[in-house]
Structure 1
Amino acid sequence: MSAPAPLKPVETSRAAALEEDVAARTDVYFKKTREVVEAFGDREVTYAVFMRRPVIFCPRLMVDWLEEVSRARGTSFRIDLQYEEGAWVGAGQPLVYLTGSMAHLVDLETLYLQKLGPPCVAAYNAFSMCCDLPNVKFLAMDARHCAGAEMAEMMAYAASVGSRAAREARNACGFIGNATDATAHYFGNERGFGTMPHALIGYAGSTVRAAEMFVERYPQDSLTVLVDYFGQEVTDALAVCRRFPELVEAGRLAVRIDTHGSRYLEGLDPYTSYAILERHAPNAIRQYRTETELRWLVGTGVSAAAIFHLRDELDAAGFSKASITASSGFSPAKCKVMASVEAPVDMIGTGSYLPESWTETYCTADIIAYDGREQVKVGREFLLKRRK
């Protein structure tokens, strides 16, 4: 893909703001290099951009920013994307070739790499989660865990791209939306999704009363009720279902468990958790399991046993149409464990597709050609092989 060459110029005030931002946030040695190049003569260069791990390609934020900067500087960059957005890319394979004036490109590296690496890894994680649980809907609840609005933008974009790739690969439900209005457009929505935090349960004084308040204020909305505030997940889930049987029957009521890791869901302990899992997934704990995986299966918090138990209780009480939403630490690894036992969860609220190891998000760029002549540092010759 090539960035269109003369585009509408950026307003003077915006151009000045962009330059100020670049100057403040780029590595100083890039700024010094720009000054050296300007003093001794500019050259056309081509950068190869790659990552050291497999990713799902998410270039849009980087490309949009580079195009805006090129317009602000009155220059043009050739942006050759080596893959379509949403494509799987192997470790070390060039993602982008970027060609233009060295004086105009050299001080941009810090910022465009920041806009490419984290989304690519987050999209890979979102893709993995959706593929492992193709029949489960996901809700992106990452915003409150992000380090500012720019990261929240990257993560929402990444979740949408990874989700779309999973739909194409596995016909997965994927991410149906997210928790904020600002980034809802990435999921094809006008608004974010969500009903209530724990704070509303405390304010109302009971789980049922919080549900009543919500229904009174938003009668047309579906209802998802947190049921772990008082440590009575089963009791309160059943009480809400009995209060709103019409919503259950219409498939518009869900109970959400967010039980923290310091206690078991109501009615469970180690013995009963193992018994429940043995009944529903008898081979689950006969396989090799790490300590963490065992905790996700039969431990405290939102375990597979907890989900099975709540589903059993809802069904026994005649509320089979009430759905279960689970949250609390649903990383790609935890989703894989839940998939292995076919835990009966209908929706997962997660921010855990965020990269767990930020060293994996590091994107790297190397110049591979000066004025059209190939030249790259020793050891990076592989970057030349896929050049189009």
Structure 2
Amino acid sequence: MNSSVSQSALEQSSGAIGPLDQQTIESRTDAYFGRTRKIVEHFGDAKVTYAVFIRRPVIAACGIAVTWLRNVAKAQSFDLHIREVYEEGQWVGAGEPLLYLTGPFTKLAPLETLLLQRLGAACVAAHNAYQMAMALPEVPFLAMEARHCAGFEMQEQMGYAAAVGSRAAQKEGARGFIGNANDATAGFFDQEYGLGTMPHALIGYAGSTLRAAEMYAEVYPNDPLTILVDYFGQEVTDALEVCRRFPEKAAAGQLSVRLDTHGGRFLEGLDPQSSYAVLERYTPGTIRRYRSDAELRDLVGTGVSAAAIWRMREALNEAGFPKVKITVSSGFNVSKCTSMRDAHAPIDVVGSGSFIPDRWSETYATADIVAYDGTLRVKVGREFLLNKAKAEQEVS
């Protein structure tokens, strides 16, 4: 796998890479940037250098922003120098400049709003994806964030971010994200198509979990089969019924059950006491240490807990289906992945969109001009940007 997201995949990101024309950009930017452009045009343009940074640690995921900037400069015919301080996928400390941009003030001023939209959230999401992959390094992930995104531009940014964070983790030996759930952003993962089998709606349409599996197998006979098993609240019963119906797929490792039990109830057959008992059987050290309330929910609570996963594995093995895989979804963020690692949960695949930042205020990127026509100058409180700005001046 490539160590960075391919440029061709970025260039095909039609949502986040546009718009390019000045009129559309200015209609979407903050008004004071447009007014600044007109004032500077009146009094005389200047060559300026921007430093772009985020106030928290992140993984550098600047590809969409940088590609957009270069495309804008080409479309509007102005010279732009971009220096990426960190390579894609590198860890970046809080407040460290990610980019230095040098060009005409009249052209760069209107770009700030749209630039920051394409940068901050992607870098934080990449950091989250990296942490999740490192928490469960032996487990492959699927990016399933699209339904939780506010439009296609965000969908592209989050898919790209998962790919960047994943590659950073893969460099350290993790499996990381091997694909995603839709065709449009599959290129970020070096895939042609999105991955996935069925939603709950198909099971509702079929009338039973088994019938949904049969329908899927009839239309896609040569594909591996992953079947949701929580629709009727009979995860274990329905999983075993499907396994018995497709013994060849089960024996060949071509059958998976997907646990997506919602947080309002326990997996079939479990309650608080029996959940503790499951972990006591398979990973006793996990439950004997002090745990926060959040950790206990992940370990022995409702929904897709570590106990639920262990119970499903136990039932499959006891029924003679040790090669049937378990895919899990529902709220798998950094902390939940860490809890699953502590519980040695027997997970074969994680489907997650929870690398999307949950504290949006942490995603706010900032751009400050640090040089005007070669003279270093920045607002009070941002002097820390000047040291690296001096080095940037020497380069440019």
Give the TM-score of the pair, scaled to structure 2: 0.93
1:21 and 2:24 correspond: yes
**Alignment RMSD (CA, Å):** 1.3
Aligned to 2:87: 84
Pairs within 5 Å for 1:305-316: 305-316=307-318
4+ residue segments displaced more than 4 Å: 14-17
The answer as to whether partners of 1:367 and 1:376 remain within 8 angstroms in 2 is yes
Pairs within 5 Å for 1:235-384: 235-384=237-386
- Paired residue type of 2:372: Y
Aligned to 2:97: 94
1:65 and 2:65 correspond: no
Pairs within 5 Å for 1:56-205: 56-169=59-172, 171-205=173-207
The answer as to whether partners of 2:30 and 2:113 remain within 8 angstroms in 1 is yes
Structure 1: distance between partners of 2:21 and 2:337: 40
- Paired residue type of 1:133: L
SS of residue paired to 2:171: helix
The answer as to whether partners of 1:281 and 1:341 remain within 8 angstroms in 2 is yes
Deviation at 1:17, TM superposition (A): 6.4
Deviation at 1:166, TM superposition (A): 0.3
Q: Pick closer, same or farther for the CA change 1:315–1:98 going to 2, 3 Å.
A: same
SS of residue paired to 1:92: coil
SS of residue paired to 2:287: coil
Percent of aligned pairs sharing the same letter: 61
1:223 and 2:197 correspond: no
Structure 1 residue runs without a partner (length 5+): 1-13
Structure 2: distance between partners of 1:147 and 1:18: 23
Aligned to 1:3: none
The answer as to whether partners of 1:48 and 1:98 remain within 8 angstroms in 2 is yes
- Paired residue type of 1:279: R
Deviation at 1:197, TM superposition (A): 0.3
Structure 2 residue runs without a partner (length 5+): 1-16
1:50 and 2:53 correspond: yes
The answer as to whether partners of 1:15 and 1:72 remain within 8 angstroms in 2 is no
- Paired residue type of 2:133: C
Q: Pick closer, same or farther for the CA change 1:248–1:16 going to 2, 3 Å.
A: closer
Aligned to 2:7: none
Question: What's the CA shift string for 1:86-127, capped at 9, x where partnerless?
Answer: 111010111100000000001110000110111100000000
Structure 2: distance between partners of 1:385 and 1:166: 31
Structure 1: distance between partners of 2:41 and 2:193: 47
Structure 1: distance between partners of 2:336 and 2:244: 32
Structure 1: distance between partners of 2:307 and 2:213: 26
